[in-house]
Structure 1
Amino acid sequence: MFRQSSPRGDSKGRCHRREALKRVAFSGMGAAAAAWLAGRSNAEHLATAADESAGLKKLGWTFGCQHYTFRRYPLYEAAPIMAKLGFSVVEGCFFLPLDKDQPGLVVNETLAKEKRVELKDRLRSLGLTMSNFYGDVGTDEAKARQVFEFAKDLGAQTVVAEPPPAAFEMLDKLTAEFGIDLAIHNHPKSPQSQYWHPKNVLEVCRGRSSRIGACCDTGHWVRSGLDPVECLKMLKGRIKTFHLKDVAEWGVPEARDVPLGQGKAKYADVLNELRRQGFQGVLSVEYEHDSDNLEKEVAECIAFVVHWANQNA
């Protein structure tokens, strides 16, 4: 997760959106995304916007959105946008704010119990759940326990994190105690990114329970000069969840995000590999480019996956 510049949309982008609109003439999530792409009112689709397409249901895939995508807004403002686009899962982010009217509150384990109930109820009213939570987990067991307690209070099934290798014996016990999976996230190759390569993820998974695995960020793999399909093959059996991301340039750490299928991540091949492996779970869009056309570009990401799933499930 890192900030990037925000270039304006162009005619080529509008052509991509028109083409995406042609591909998503179905109900549920596809219809919600299509309405957004067309610039029409979403009112007629809100009742079914949280429904997944037949293809996604058949594959066992659930569409989520990482809050970082809409980081310009506190979660209480971002969540209605996610719901309108048709997402059913929010992946909370431990360093982002909760509510503009409640300054200082952040979406993490520091939230008081009553605020956790408020948050869960607010999401439920929009047809959303927080099945994934991106947390700050290290070697401090008391702190890690607080993160897992927060995740459990919100109903999360997976904590996404980048813990140091020394933490995994302790974390293996916590995943069993709380019944919550731990998914190791990868950032682009750098001295600070210890899990940029799948072999590093597999190393800390070795000898651990099946509750520990990977949160696969395909865009960051491409930024690191790695083939995302080969990375997925390496991680077979350890894939817990996913950050859907495509980027414009290969092997460039600062490469900007583009809608799925328009970059270098070979996204049809990525989805085909997930299907081949029989993956079932949450696929979260994390669109890091804070575009002037952010909602439309996120809708294009939805359109690409829904169309692929309906054609290939």
Structure 2
Amino acid sequence: MGFGDTVDRLKYTKPERKYILIDMKRIKSYTIIAILLSSGFLVAWINDYSQVSNKWKLGVEIYTFHRFTLAEGISKSDSAGVHYIEAASFQKIGDEIEKGYISQISEQGLVKLNKYLDKHHIKIRSVYVFGGSSLDSWKNGFLQAKKLKCEFITAEPPRNLWDSIDSLAGVFHIKVAIHNHWKGKSAFWSPDSVLAAIKNHPNFGACPDLGHWPKSGVDAVSGLQKLQGHILAIHLKDASQMNDPNARDVDLGTGVVNFKAVLEELKRQNYKGFIYIERDADVRPSNLPSVIKEISYYNDLLRNL
């Protein structure tokens, strides 16, 4: 091979090598872009999940542990990994804190309760109040909620006291989240009746119980749409069937409520508030395993929104 042959070969091999290098650069560039894009989507997904989970404060409605004292319910809620509970005025406190009911707690008992809550990393932000037929009974409910530093009480106020209870809520700076049971047991079984109570009562809001609505034939998503802008908290619960007041309380996702659609609707509404898991069922030895299972189910749905 002479010098001329060598020059001719270089003329052909150099462009070929250059072409190969350019192609590799393109491949590397596409790979980097793909990684950046996928990372961007991942970051966006994480941010979206964080924003939703931060807006929705997951907790336990203490009636879930209604066979136990408040102290025991706090301990079990801590074991489930939540940081919020909704207390109930009719529940016994627990001898390790104070004898009696939460509605009768003393200042000394309140100090012990707060220490117990801190120990278990739990906060009470609302309390279910039965109230009664007299305004004094409702005033006492607000006083107890104030002591507990609640943001709202969950209740079913009687029609003749709406104006007075709304005024009390304004005085105490504590909202009233209207709760529903089923048709025949509650005047608020329909979202429309809740809206009627809220009208002209600026301190009233809603706490829809998603497991009670099906018993009256109310679709959960439709109910939430009607109450948009008024929801202070939600009782997350399922029911075995529609249009049956005797429908059983079942694990989330095993009944008739479409929880994926429920969470999507709450996200659409830009809902900010409490979501309390609640079990009416009396599972032995306790509802704790069920609550842990339902929290996992909830988190799985949240991650896929």
TM range (shorter): 0.7 to 0.9
CA contact (8 A) 2:97 2:112 kept: no
Q: Does 1:203 align with 2:196?
A: yes
Higher normalized contact order (CA 8 Å, seq sep 6+, divided by chain length): 1
More displaced stretch, 257-266 vs 212-221:
257-266
Deviation at 1:227? 0.6
CA contact (8 A) 1:56 1:309 kept: no
Instruction: Specify the alignment match of 2:262 in structure 1.
Output: 270
Higher helix share: 2
Aligned-residue Cα RMSD (Å) equals 1.9
2:157 to 154, 159, 163: 163
Instruction: Specify the alignment match of 1:106 in structure 2.
Output: 101
Instruction: Specify the alignment match of 1:282 in structure 2.
Output: 274
In 1, Cα distance between the equivalents of 2:258 and 2:180? 18
Segments of structure 1 that go 5 or more residues without pairing to the other structure are 1-52
Aligned to 2:100, the other structure's residue is in SS state coil
Structure-2 change in CA distance of 1:81 and 1:207 (3 Å): same
Aligned to 1:120, the other structure's residue is in SS state helix
Report how many aligned residue pairs link the two structures: 257
Q: Does 1:77 align with 2:77?
A: no
2:182 to 183, 188, 212: 188
Deviation at 1:59? 5.1
Deviation at 1:137? 2.2
CA contact (8 A) 2:215 2:239 kept: yes
Q: Does 1:309 align with 2:266?
A: no
Higher Rg:
2
Aligned to 1:91, the other structure's residue is in SS state strand
Aligned to 2:102, the other structure's residue is in SS state coil
Instruction: Specify the alignment match of 2:214 in structure 1.
Output: 222
Structure-2 change in CA distance of 1:54 and 1:124 (3 Å): farther
In 2, Cα distance between the equivalents of 1:244 and 1:164? 24
Deviation at 1:55? 3.8
Segments of structure 2 that go 5 or more residues without pairing to the other structure are 1-47
In 1, Cα distance between the equivalents of 2:263 and 2:97? 40
Deviation at 1:144? 1.6
Aligned to 1:105, the other structure's residue is in SS state strand
The one-letter code of the counterpart of 1:177 is: V
CA contact (8 A) 1:261 1:268 kept: no
Percent identity for Structure 1 against Structure 2: 30
Residue deviations 1:267-290 (CA, integer Å, cap 9, x gap): 111111111111111111111111
In 2, Cα distance between the equivalents of 1:111 and 1:167? 25
